[in-house]
Amino acid sequence: MTQREIVGPVHVNGKWLSRPVTGTERYAQEILGCIVWDGALRLVIHVLRDAIVPSWLAQGADVVRLGGPASLSKLSWNQTAQRLLTIYQKRQGAAA
């Protein structure tokens, strides 16, 4: 059994992909790049509908697009994470 199977999917808030690139966004991109390159974890990245997802990330992670800028931009991280996780779990249940 691999670490990827033991840990299960790791959910990532991808709101930074809808923003202009600053030092924080660049840092997030570098960290995720290392995780994707390593391949040890299964990533699920939750992004806003208008986000531009780099090809290396789309190939190395499951991308879940939802809402739009207005629907999630005013929510706190905890609210956003809970909503995204709930939607993802419902989609996974429907697919099973």
Chain segment 3-16, per-residue pLDDT in tens:
556 667 888 888 88
- Tokens 């905890």, residue? 78
Domain ranges of the chain: 3-95
Distance from C-alpha of 41 to C-alpha of 62, rounded to nearest angstrom: 11
What pTM, to 2 d.p., does this model score? Answer: 0.64
What letters, b where the CB count within 10 A reaches 16 and e where it falls short, cover 46-76?
bbbeebeeeeebeebbebbeebeeeebeeee
pLDDT by position in tens, the chain (length 96): 565 566 678 888 888 888 888 888 889 889 888 988 888 888 888 888 788 899 998 888 999 887 655 455 555 666 777 777 777 778 777 665
